[in-house]
Amino acid sequence: MLRAERVWVSLDGAKVVQDVGLALEKGDWLGLIGPNGAGKTTLLRAVAGLVPYAGSIRIEGDEVSSLGRRAAARRVAVVPQIPVIPPDTTVLEYVVLGRTPHLGYSGTPGPRDVVAARSALARLDGAHLGDRRLGSLSGGERQRAVLARAVAQDASLLLLDEPTSALDVGAQQQVLELVASLRADGSLTVLSAMHDLTHAGQYADRLLLLDGGQEQASGTPPEVLTEQLIARHFGASVRIVADEEAGIAVVPLRPPVEAEQPVS
Amino acid sequence: MATAGGLRARLSARPERALRGVSAGWALAATAFVVVSTLLGLALGPVDLGLGAVTREVLSHVPFLGLESSFSGTDDAILWELRAPRVALGLLVGAMLASAGAAYQGVFRNPLADPYLLGAAAGAGLGATIVIAYDPGGGLDLRPIAAFAGAIVGVGVAYLLGRSVGGSGTTTLILAGVTVAAFLTAVQTYVQQQNAETVQEVYSWILGQLETSGWSDVLILLPYVAFSSAVLLWHRRLLDVLAVGDDEAASLGVPVARVRLLVVGAATLGTAAAVAFSGLIAFVGIIVPHAVRLVAGTSYRVVLPLSLAFGGGFLVLMDLVARTVVAPAQLPIGVVTAFLGAPFFAVVLRSTRTVGP
């Protein structure tokens, strides 16, 4: 479904992604993890065709860079880390923007596009939000609107860049469960950059650890989420707790500190 | 205050309405506004032709109605040779400035963008000033040509400068526009100071006027306004997509750079043609689109067509004030648009909740 080989991306002369490869079959969920600046976002942008790259990125057999903008947008939907939210736009108008790649250059959305937008909202439990203005939504509701726009785009590959970074724990869980349910019928493939390692381990089938733009490890969550790898690449001391019901949890540990000096 | 909000609720009640573009209610309101402004502009002035008589005269030209005009030869000349071209020019200039302002605000995602943002005003001002200073009373009126050329050159240089700096962002382009405008304004001020005896003429040009030399001006301007507004309307939905930023618009399949070039190009061409005949009429490009947004909705599928209509009617009314309050003298129309437009806009702003591009 998605096959990337020897991908390099340079931004302003810096090699941000170096020789990374990945392969996703239909219905997979691959999580990209790594410290800040590891190249996760840039790799996602390359897959979406938003930055030039060297190497090969094929979606359903076609090279991304040779697809037109509109054709690429019909196959890949992107949920950016910090979406631009026009506050006065209603949720339904916003979700209908997802139909853009299916309309002609000067085309306007028709009844069928409104139906697609409404059903995307309904799949994300947001049918009641349609008439609300984006500026009046909570963080979790807003993220559902953004996801609904991506679903309305009707692409087979969904790219998520830190989809839960601004949300509280309940909303994070809700959003990730919604993505999992979208994937449930097997038609949607997901590639996501994730900060929360526990969530990454719980939701993705496989993980790819990036650091310094290079692949450091890849495999199932238990293979990648190890105390050694996390210490080496994140500089964090953690304990991996494996629980039969919860799966893997990555618990940060406070490093031992010397006795506090009183402030004079 | 509930007025504007209530109006918005009544005339565009459901979000689907906004998805379909201008509602029937607003289309009717806009048409009525243009018709009433036009009739008032034709009827009133130093010589009062009478609203009823003017309506009758206009309708007598419509076939199959069988109406006879009651006009004398003088009234007929005043109406068709003096007022009608002036009203037509007002409609065209107002429609162009308002829709160009709306388009600039959309493409730059900046609520303060106006049709002069990228140096069009400074370029036109310099062009006109040079003609006024160095060719006073020349046989052929070169001011429109010089103003048009100045505006195109100003924006063209700003665009090339922005491109050469690199980066596709809107901020670079706006800064390039500010740079070019500052330079051209400096040159314009220098030329003006060197030719102090023409200062008054330069100022009256800069503050705007709708003096016409008859239908020929209107006929020259018409194709520019028709072409530019057609291009802008053609992009009205894509301007809505640009509201989510260049990056997200690109990920939705929009060729962002091409859309921006076409929209900026069309808005600039139309603005340059308009200022060539009207001078620098301020404020229309900001208050008309924002007033439309506040009362009728923020989608460009609503804002662009309604700005065209309300901008045209608005400028005709402002011109009516400009040529009647101190008759037989005239006020520069730019003074009237700001003097009456600003308080009007303040009222609209206060009666609504939010404002945004």
Q: Which pLDDT band holds residue B7 (cuts at 50, 70, 90)?
A: low
Q: How confident is the model at residue A259 (pLDDT cuts 50, 70, 90)?
A: low
Residue B18 near chain A (CB below 8 Å): yes
Interface of A with B (CB under 8 A): 48, 50, 69-74, 76-78, 80, 83-90, 92-94, 96-98, 100-101, 103, 105-109, 114, 130-131, 135, 153
Closest CA to A43 of A12, A67, A78, A82: A78
Q: Does the structure show a pLDDT above 90 at B8?
A: no
Structural contact between residues A10 and A18, judged by C-beta atoms closer than 8 angstroms: no
Q: Tell whether B258 is within 8 A of chain A (Cβ).
A: no
A223 or A245: whose pLDDT is higher?
Answer: A223
Residue type at A156? Answer: S
pLDDT the model gives residue B139: 59
- Asked if B237's CB is within 8 angstroms of A108's CB, the reply is yes
Compute the nearest-CA separation of B241 from chain A (Å).
6
Which residues, numbered 281 to 340 in chain B, qualify as contacts with chain A under a Cβ-Cβ cut-off of 8 Å? 293, 298-299, 301
Residues in chain A: 264
Residues of A in contact with B251 (CB under 8 A): 48, 50, 73, 76-78, 80
Structure-model confidence comparison of residues B334 and B309, the more confident one: B309
pLDDT of residue B11: 47
Indicate the pLDDT class of residue B352, thresholds 50, 70 and 90: low
Of A73, A130, A135, the CB nearest to B251: A73
pTM of this structure:
0.87
**Residue A28 has what pLDDT?**
93
- Substitution target in B109, B244, B263, B294 with the highest count of A β-carbons within 10 Å is B244
Does the structure show a pLDDT above 80 at B137? no
Nearest chain A residue to B240, by CA: A97
ipTM: 0.90
pLDDT at B13 > cutoff 70: no
Write the Ramachandran bin of A263: left for phi over 0, alpha for psi from -120 to 50, otherwise beta: beta
Q: What's the pLDDT at B355?
A: 47
**Of A70, A92, A153, which has the smallest distance from its Cβ to B15's Cβ?**
A92
Given an 8 Å threshold on Cβ–Cβ distance, is B248 in contact with A83?
yes
HSE, side-chain direction, 13 A CA sphere, residue B58: 17
Alpha carbon distance, N-terminus to C-terminus of chain A: 63
Which chain A residues are within 8 Å of B5, Cβ to Cβ?
none
Q: pLDDT value at position B94?
A: 96
- % of chain A residues with pLDDT over 70: 96
pLDDT-based confidence at residue B338 (cuts at 50, 70, 90):
confident
Residues of chain A with Cβ-Cβ distance to B253 below 8 Å are 69-74, 100-101
Q: Say if residues B324 and B44 touch (Cβ distance below 8 Å).
A: yes
Q: In whole angstroms, give the CA distance from residue A77 to residue A75.
A: 7
Q: Which residue did the predictor score with more confidence, B86 or B350? A: B86
List C-alpha distances in Å: B46 to A10, B36, B135, B214, B321.
Answer: 69, 19, 32, 18, 11
Q: Which of A50, A87, A105 sits opposite B354 (nearest CB)?
A: A87
DSSP state of A90: B
**A–B CB contacts, 8 A cutoff, strictly below:** 85
Overall average pLDDT of the B98-105 stretch: 94
Q: Tell me the average pLDDT across A49-71.
A: 94
How far are the Cα atoms of A132, A142, A248, B354 from residue A136, in angstroms, in the given order?
7, 9, 36, 12
State how far the Cα of B119 lies from the Cα of B158, in Å rounded to an integer.
Answer: 7
- Considering only CA atoms, give the Rg of chain B: 21
Tens digits of residue pLDDT in B138-197: 656 788 888 899 999 999 999 889 888 876 567 888 889 999 999 999 999 999 988 888
Please list every residue in chain A whose beta carbon sits closer than 8 Å to the beta carbon of residue B237. 103, 106-109
Between CA B66 and CA B163 the distance in angstroms is: 60
Distance of CA B5 to the CA centre of its chain: 26
Name residues whose C-beta falls within 8 Å of residue B124's C-beta, 6 or more positions apart in sequence.
B147, B148, B150, B151, B154, B272, B275, B276, B280
State chain A's mean pLDDT as an integer.
91
**Per-domain boundaries in chain A:** 2-252
Q: CA A113, CA A97: separation in Å to the nearest integer?
A: 9
Find out whether A222 and A204 touch, Cβ atoms under 8 Å: no
Of B250, B255, B356, the CB nearest to A88: B356
Q: Which of B20, B248, B253 sits opposite A101 (nearest CB)?
A: B253
Mean pLDDT (whole number) for B65-77? 79
Three-state secondary structure call for residue A16: strand
**CB contact (8 A) between residue B253 and residue A80:** no
Interface touch A100/B254, C-beta < 8 Å: yes
**Pairing label, strands A29-33, A189-193:** parallel
CB distance from B247 to chain A under 8 Å?
A: yes
Highest mean pLDDT among A80-89, A248-257, B28-37, B345-354: B28-37
A77/B240 Cβ within 8 A: no
Q: What structural domains does chain B harbor?
A: 3-350 (1.10.3470.10)
Instruction: Give B12's pLDDT tier (boundaries 50, 70, 90).
Output: very low
Q: Please give the Cα distance from B325 to B332 (Å, whole number).
A: 11
SS3 content of chain A, % helix, strand, coil (to 5): 35, 30, 35
Nearest to B159 by CA among B247, B245, B274, B265: B265
CB A100 within 8 A of CB A71: no
Please tell me which of the candidates B16, B238, B248 has its beta carbon nearest to residue A84. Answer: B248
Measured CA to CA, the distance from residue B218 to residue B212 in angstroms comes to 8
Helix (H), strand (E) at residue A181? helix A169-183
* Average pLDDT score, chain B: 86
Nearest chain B CA: its distance from A223 CA (Å): 33
Which phi and psi angles does A209 have, rounded to 5°? -95, 120
Chain A CB within 8 Å of residue B255 CB: yes
B237 touches chain A (CB under 8 A): yes
Q: How far apart are CA B206 and CA B176, in angstroms?
A: 22
Q: Which residue has the tokens 């196959």?
A: A75
Residues B248, A96: C-beta atoms closer than 8 Å: no
Interchain CB distance below 8 Å, A86 and B356: yes
3-state secondary structure of A150: helix
Contact B238 A105 (CB under 8 A): yes
Per-residue CA distances from B317 to B94, B96, B295 (Å): 10, 16, 20
Nearest-by-Cβ selection for A89 from B21, B238, B243: B243
Model confidence at B98, pLDDT cuts 50, 70, 90, reads very high
pLDDT in tens, B22-54: 889 999 999 999 999 999 999 988 788 888 888
CATH code, A2-252: 3.40.50.300
- Start-to-end CA distance of chain B, whole Å, equals 22
Residue A189: pLDDT above 60?
A: yes
Q: Chain A: nearest CA to B146, how far in angstroms?
A: 34
Distance set, CA B52 to CA A97, B56, B59, B62, B68 (Å)? 48, 6, 10, 16, 13
